[in-house]
Amino acid sequence: MGRVYNFSAGPAVLPEEVLKEAAAEMLDYNGTGMSVMEMSHRSKAYQEIIDTAEADLRELMNIPDNYKVLFLQGGASQQFAMIPMNLMKNKKADYIITGQWAKKAYQEAKLYGDARAIASSEDKTYSYIPDCSDLDIDEDADYVYICENNTIYGTKYKTLPNTKGKTLVADVSSCFLSEPVDVTKYGVIYGGVQKNIGPAGVVIVIIREDLITEDVLPGTPTMLRYKIHADNGSMYNTPPAYGIYICGKVFKWLKKMGGLEAMKEHNEKKAKILYDFLDQSKLFKGTVEPKDRSLMNVPFVTGSEELDAKFVKEAKAAGFENLKGHRTVGGMRASIYNAMPIEGVEALVQFMKKFEEENQ
């Protein structure tokens, strides 16, 4: 069997070119006679891999010098604790709840201090982004927290919240490198890489230097202190070495593709094909308020659970994998990350048209 069109929300599709390159280097990386998997992270060859990855990411995102880039482990979920442990100096933080990941982060932060939910879209199953232009932000809040792209529900902030001068912390796991960002608007940008960048096991944290201090909550484990990782170039202990190497290859691929401006154009074009179809379909419906639609995750339903199940089954047989919606919301979801080719989306829409004709 050849490669399928993989619409998984994560771990997700990676550029074929990157996978082939990694395969070619599997037994002998760059004349070292070993795989990157077998290499000491203290070696010159590995130092060059991680340094190049960081430099390329800085270039792609135009990351200012007063931000550190950390390659950590524990997934995005570990940041749910690490953020309050390191940033809650006043033990206060304000959270905007736009889905399950934001809610989990909020619940975790409550273990460490006074986390408040200052806005939520739970009333309509997280199908929109609340108005964040004038929120009741605590004067003593250490930060305001958002999940910028909601992987499960398919919403994305088109404008960032007005934090009234407070530090913005954003989980960008499922929109990482999908379009340009102004890093200076954030105190912390972080994401697990398995959605849009690389293999699960790496989380990237981009953090403004003044937020990295020794002054963390009592009992914060050494491994959960940003300062330890920043002071040691993400090598306080053994980093997720092979995963970082693949991320580095994806950064090179993105540069070759024209960088984040070009990716944005590419992603808008892909998403438009699918949304345009959904908007005129008599069978399929998008579930998200149009103004808040994500470019990366596109949930949709037929309105009938049986038809949804039939669609997912027939799509799979036709080579469209992982279209089933998240277990908590049902329906379907097509994740169309950077590495999903436009042909994949076109083929999916053709398949949906055919299914619609056959099931009217």
Ligand X SMILES: *Cc1c(COP(=O)(O)O)cnc(C)c1O
Q: Is the Cβ of residue 302 or residue 338 nearer to ligand X in the bound state? A: 338
Name the residue with the smallest CB distance to ligand X.
75
Quick one: which segment of 171-179, 253-261, 273-281, 311-319 binds ligand X (CB under 6 A)? 171-179
Q: How far is the CB of 188 from ligand X (least distance, A)?
A: 14
Is 174 an interacting residue with respect to ligand X (CB under 6 A)? Answer: yes
Distance CA 10, CA 22 (A): 20
Q: How far apart are CA 14 and CA 222, in angstroms?
A: 33
Q: Can you tell me which of 86, 151, 163, 167 binds ligand X, judged by CB under 6 A?
A: 151
Where helices occur in the chain by DSSP H, the ranges are 16-24, 44-61, 75-87, 100-109, 226-231, 241-256, 259-280, 305-317, 342-358
Query: Is residue 248 a contact point for ligand X (CB under 6 A)?
Result: no
Is 164 in a helix, a strand, or coil?
coil
Other CB atoms within 10 Å distance of the CB of residue 24: 10
CB of 24 to ligand X, least distance (A): 28
Catalytic residues: 101, 171, 195
Q: Which of 14, 49, 132, 147 is in the footprint of ligand X by CB under 6 A? A: 147
Binding string to ligand X for residues 105 to 144, with x set by CB under 6 A, is what? ----------------------------------------
Half-sphere exposure of 155 (CA within 13 A, CB side): 27
Q: Kindly tell me which residue out of 7, 95, 101, 106 binds ligand X, with binding defined by CB under 6 A.
A: 101
Closest distance between ligand X and the C-beta of residue 104, in Å? 8
Residue listed under structure tokens 């401006």: 261
Candidate list 10, 15, 248, 331; residue touching ligand X; CB under 6 A: 10
Our finding on whether 173 is near ligand X (CB under 6 A) is yes
User: Between residue 298 and residue 357, which ones bind ligand X under the rule CB under 6 A?
Assistant: none
What is the C-alpha to C-alpha distance for residues 10 and 1, in angstroms, rounded to an integer?
21
Cα dihedral across residues 45, 46, 51, 57: positive or negative = positive
Query: Considering beta carbons, is residue 174 or 234 the nearer one to ligand X?
Result: 174
CA–CA distance, 142 with 96 (Å, rounded to integer) = 14
Residue 73 is a binding residue for ligand X (CB under 6 A): no
Q: How far is the CB of 77 from ligand X (least distance, A)?
A: 3
- Distance of closest approach, residue 30 Cβ to ligand X, in angstroms: 29
Residue of 199, 207, 182, 256 whose CA lies nearest to 73? 199
Rounded to an integer, what distance in angstroms lies between the CA atom of residue 84 and that of residue 142?
9
Q: Does 98 bind ligand X (CB under 6 A)?
A: no
Residues 41, 43, 48, 51, CA torsion sign: positive
Give the binding site for ligand X (CB under 6 A): 10, 75-77, 101, 147, 151, 171, 173-174, 192, 195
